[in-house]
Amino acid sequence: MLVAPLLSCALLGFAPPAVAEPGAVAQPGAVLLEDSFDRAEKDDAKEQVGNGWTTNSKARAKGNKQVDLADGALHITMHAEADHGVSVRHDGPTWTDGTLSLRFKLPPKGDLGVDLADMQEKSVHAGHLLIVRVRPSGVELRDHKAGGMELTRRERRQAGQVTAEDKQVMKDAVTQVKMKIAPNEWHTLSMTTAGDRLSVSIDGKPVGELQSPGIAHPTKRTVRLAVNSEAWVDDFKLTAAE
């Protein structure tokens, strides 16, 4: 079921973004979240993303604004006082497989991560399941659950006690693709999970795949846009598999 249309959207003359009820189980082919970010904050000095999105700026950036609605898109910039990358989070329904697409624009040293998580999964740090990270120099696909975010393995990493087995597991849990992505231009990212396989395309062209057990995690509940420098995001859409 979708949340009722927002009155402010109707008054401004554009369609409200689609949002599936948090906690609900996704129906096959359902649009779980769709957002064009074509709105403005009531107070431009504050982070007011709306539509169910939250950020970590209060906890990790001393409350400084890092996320802005501007020119019909989402502009994310890590603040100089932040002690962690920016996380723009949306908790939606539970899904297993699906396709997430969005438009993005990066400056020459920008980056954008699209992180899928399950905050109820306690075997990994902070619910991390998998991430696709895009930079002007290439794309990274990483299985966090089977790799470096698994709690005992993460503890060994932090203690400097990584084993040979850990190194091999973490190596198998990542695919890195070197490519040139033109900075300061809009591009389209699409990422699809199907069982234990993650596939990614940019501007309609396949760029990489990763097959790893953590991708098959059956309860994906949260999307996080993770930025360590600066990125623009627009036309976000998450659709459950048929």
What's the CATH code of the domain at 202? 2.60.120.560
The secondary structure element, H or E, covering residue 9 is helix 7-12
DSSP string, 75-100: EEE--TT-SS-EEEEEEEEEESSEEE
SS3 48: coil
**Cβ atoms within 10 Å, residue 39:** 20
Residue 136, amino acid: P
State how many domains the chain has.
1
Question: Is residue 22 within 8 Å of residue 40, measured between CB atoms?
Answer: no
Residue 131, CB-side half-sphere exposure with 13 Å CA sphere: 21
Pairwise CA distance, residues 1 & 225, whole Å: 24
Domain that holds residue 167: 7-240
Contacts of 30 (CB under 8 A, 6+ apart): 20, 239, 240
Is 1 part of a structural domain of the chain? no
Is 2 part of a structural domain of the chain? no
- Is the model's pTM score more than 0.85? yes
CA angle 75–78–83, rounded 5-degree value: 155
| pLDDT of the chain, 242 residues: tens digit per residue | 233 333 334 333 344 456 666 667 789 999 999 999 999 999 999 999 999 999 999 999 999 999 999 999 999 999 999 999 999 999 988 999 999 999 999 999 999 999 999 999 999 999 999 999 999 999 999 999 999 999 999 999 999 999 999 999 999 999 999 999 999 999 999 999 999 999 999 999 999 999 999 999 999 999 999 999 999 999 999 999 99
Could you tell me which residues are beta bridge partners of residue 25? 94
Pairwise CA distance, residues 65 & 55, whole Å: 10
